[in-house]
Structure formats: structure tokens, C-alpha cells
């Protein structure tokens, strides 16, 4: 059985809960990613922030990214466990219409799964089926 650990992208780096959105944007640019997990002082996962969050919920609302913190934009956190099956991962992403999801082991971040990881898993034969990809795409993109 393929698990989240088999398909996740390792090496995900957290933005600190108290770091600013300016710092988050620079980190996203430097890492070439569109989302960052948010970790607290306890090094536990507390949320996730996307480039879209910064634009829509900070800049478009006239807020200052130099003073607003990552945790101020953290919404409800959806994540999966490293041992969760791909069915579980896909169902959670579909249910919440999300394109990226953090992977935890215990309460620690161990990776992220993005659409690109799903596509690579499909291509590389990690038991992500054509039907699963179709259902994911339909759920996330067609039901908005």
C-alpha cells in the first residue's frame, strides 16, 4: 500500500509563527514554493500559509506584510499522517479542496504533498491511479 510518506516531498521548511509575511514571501521565492507550513516556538505544526493568502488576505485588504505575522493568516489546518494511505490523502485534499497538504509523524512536520507530488507519484507508478487523479482534479478544480 502506498502511503503519504511514499509520495511526499521531504525537506519542507517552516516559517515561524511570529515571522512576518514579508519574510514568508521571500522564503517562498527563495525555495520556489507557493506554500509554507507554519511552526510555533514548540516546533509543532500550527498552520500553513500560501502565496494567495498573502495577496488576498493581506495586500488586497490594505494590511502591512512587514508587520503582519504568518500565524495571523493561518486558517484551519488540514494535514495527514505519514502512514496514511493515498486514498486517505486524496480524500482529505478533495474534501477540503486543497492543493497542498502537510505530512506529520507524531506532531512533527516530515513533508508536504502537492499536486506535483501526486502527478509524479502517478507517473512513477506509486499506485496513484488515473481514476484517483481524475477525481482529485474534478473535486478541487470543478466544484469551486
CATH code for position 38? 3.10.580.10
Mean pLDDT across the stretch 75-86? Answer: 92
The torsion angles phi and psi of 32, rounded to 5 degrees, stand at 60, 50
For 127-144, what is each residue's pLDDT tens digit?
Answer: 677 777 788 888 877 765
For 81-127, what is each residue's pLDDT tens digit?
Answer: 999 998 899 999 999 989 899 999 988 899 999 988 888 766 666 56
- Amino acid 127: pLDDT: 66
- Amino acid 75: pLDDT: 74
Run of H or E including 15: strand 15-16
The region, left, alpha or beta by phi > 0 then psi within -120 to 50, assigned to residue 105 is: beta
Tally of domains within the chain: 1
Mean pLDDT across the stretch 30-55? Answer: 92
Structural domain span for residue 124 = 4-142
C-beta separation of 4 from 104 below 8 A: no
The number of angstroms, rounded, from the C-alpha of 23 to the middle of its chain's C-alpha atoms is 18
Amino acid at each position: 500500500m502506498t502511503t503519504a510518506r511514499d509520495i511526499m516531498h521531504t525537506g519542507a521548511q517552516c516559517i515561524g509563527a511570529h515571522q512576518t509575511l514579508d519574510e514568508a514571501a521571500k522564503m517562498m521565492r527563495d525555495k520556489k514554493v507557493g506554500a509554507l507550513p507554519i511552526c510555533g516556538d514548540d516546533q509543532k505544526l500550527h498552520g500553513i500559509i500560501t502565496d494567495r493568502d498573502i495577496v488576498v488576505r493581506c495586500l488586497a485588504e490594505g494590511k502591512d506584510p512587514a508587520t503582519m505575522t504568518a500565524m495571523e493568516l493561518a486558517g484551519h489546518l488540514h494535514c495527514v499522517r505519514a502512514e496514511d494511505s493515498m486514498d486517505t490523502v486524496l480524500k482529505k485534499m478533495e474534501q477540503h479542496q486543497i492543493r497542498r497538504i502537510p505530512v506529520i509523524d507524531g506532531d512533527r512536520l516530515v513533508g508536504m504533498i502537492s499536486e506535483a507530488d501526486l502527478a509524479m507519484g502517478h507517473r512513477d507508478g506509486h499506485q496513484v491511479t488515473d481514476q484517483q487523479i481524475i477525481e482529485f482534479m474534478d473535486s478541487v478544480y470543478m466544484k469551486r
